[in-house]
Amino acid sequence: TNEPEYGIQEINTIKQQYPNDFNDDLLTEWKVFRKYLFAQKQQTSTNLTQRQHCINLVKKGMMRDIYPQLSLAAEIFLCAPISTATMERDFSRMNRILTGLRNRLTTEHLEQLMRISIEGPADLDNDIKNLIIDCWKRNVTDKNTACHILNKLLGDEDQQCLFFDSANGINLHDASGNLADIDSEDRPFVLELKSSEGLGGDNTYFDARGDKTFSSGPDTHEVGPPGRTKKYTSPSGWTRYGLKVLGKSEYKNDEWLHPFQHPGNWYRAFHGTGRATKVDFGNSNADFDQTAAPINALASIFKQGFRPARVAVYGPGVYCSPNPVWLGDSVFVGAVELDTEKGKKKFKCMFQVAVNPASVQCPSDDIWVAPQPQDIRPYGILIKEA
């Protein structure tokens, strides 16, 4: 533009902010440079933009010679300051989010979680929250949910659970304890306790350090005492919720489980509760719900310990399997049916356990027997869509 006052206020502001770097020549140079750009714009022989005219002046080395003050201003304001503190904060947040147990997040989801962690969650009114929740699940019977396990472990306390869908960056607050719908095995979900109030000093029966989604192909590791190790096969396609077992006084130490592949580690195996019945709970209650028995059994075992098998083909003891595929497809793993947004779906559940190498019996490749209940310890609950 050829307006006589165009840019004058901005130039004066620069002079005030940098009095030691600029003098009155800055304003004079600007007026001349403004006329030059206006004249170039009026020429019909060129289609160059004002930006391209400036670049040409710089390339020819004429900018600093003709407009030394304007050239200095451009050098100052076209330099992007980089704050190392900001970068360090971002990397620190990223390391907290992208842990060994949560290492399959996409760049988009990681960015969303970092933004929430740094800036805080966006405020949503109750109507929007309800729409989000209704989009991903419907209310179902509390007995037929994974959160029912948590409720049982907490003595049927009415606790709030938080389901986090890492594939979409959505937190689902669910006071009734319902399971969020899972669209595919590659969409991990995490169940956390939102509040620990009313637990009598015990934060939770779950330990987030043991949470893991086994969505890739099965991994195998050798676990156990040196010279007597056995193969551990990871439960591909299952999601594990870690149980709070580390530091328990009755276990004396944690070497039976942690750190992984310590010489004192017990063997890894799996235990299903699909054949649980009323008698396994010592309960003759007429209201006993057989459809919820597999889940009730998980909670009962964790609180009260294992009971010897009712049918002992290979001798007395607690039966388990080192083969998650064989056990997961057998009648020994129960499934509960849920009403979801996409219709009825079934979810399987079983224990991940550690077995004492000193006493375990291995009558077959798929069946192990722990002679005494104290020789087998559950440390995680596995859930998978049937």
At 241-276, the pLDDT tens digits run: 888 899 998 898 999 999 999 999 999 999 999 988
pLDDT given at position 164: 39
Tokens of 323: 């083969």
Residues 105, 207 share a domain: no
In the chain, which residues have pLDDT < 50?
136-203, 286
Which amino acid type is present at position 335? Answer: A
Cβ(169)–Cβ(190) under 8 Å?
no
pLDDT given at position 109: 81
Residues 112, 89 share a domain: yes
pTM assigned to the model: 0.53
- Last-in-domain residue among 61, 77, 93: 77
Which amino acid type is present at position 256? Answer: W
Number of neighbouring beta carbons within 10 Å of residue 386:
13
Cβ(111)–Cβ(122) under 8 Å?
no
Distance in Å from the first CA to the final CA of the chain: 70
Residues 374, 239 share a domain: yes
Q: Tell me, yes or no, whether 260 lies in a domain.
A: yes
357: nearest Cα among 297, 270, 269, 281: 269
How far apart, in whole angstroms, are the C-alpha atoms of residue 344 and residue 160?
24
Angle at 191 between CA 294 and CA 114, to 5 degrees: 165
Note the pLDDT tens digit of each residue in 39-88. 777 765 566 676 777 767 666 666 777 888 888 888 777 765 656 666 67
Residues 14, 93 share a domain: no
386: nearest Cα among 341, 344, 342, 323: 344
Q: How many structural domains is the chain composed of?
A: 3
Query: Residue 328 in 3-state DSSP?
Result: helix
Residues 281, 261 share a domain: yes
pLDDT given at position 379: 95
295: nearest Cα among 143, 138, 140, 141: 143
Q: How many residues are there in the chain?
A: 386
Cα dihedral 257, 259, 264, 268 in deg (nearest 10) = 40
Q: Tell me, yes or no, whether 174 lies in a domain.
A: no
Structural domain containing residue 115: 84-119
Residues 54, 18 share a domain: yes
Q: Tell me, yes or no, whether 182 lies in a domain.
A: no
Note the pLDDT tens digit of each residue in 135-157. 544 333 332 344 444 444 444 44
Q: Tell me, yes or no, whether 220 lies in a domain.
A: yes
Compute the mean pLDDT over every residue in the chain, rounded to the nearest whole number.
74
Residues 292, 212 share a domain: yes
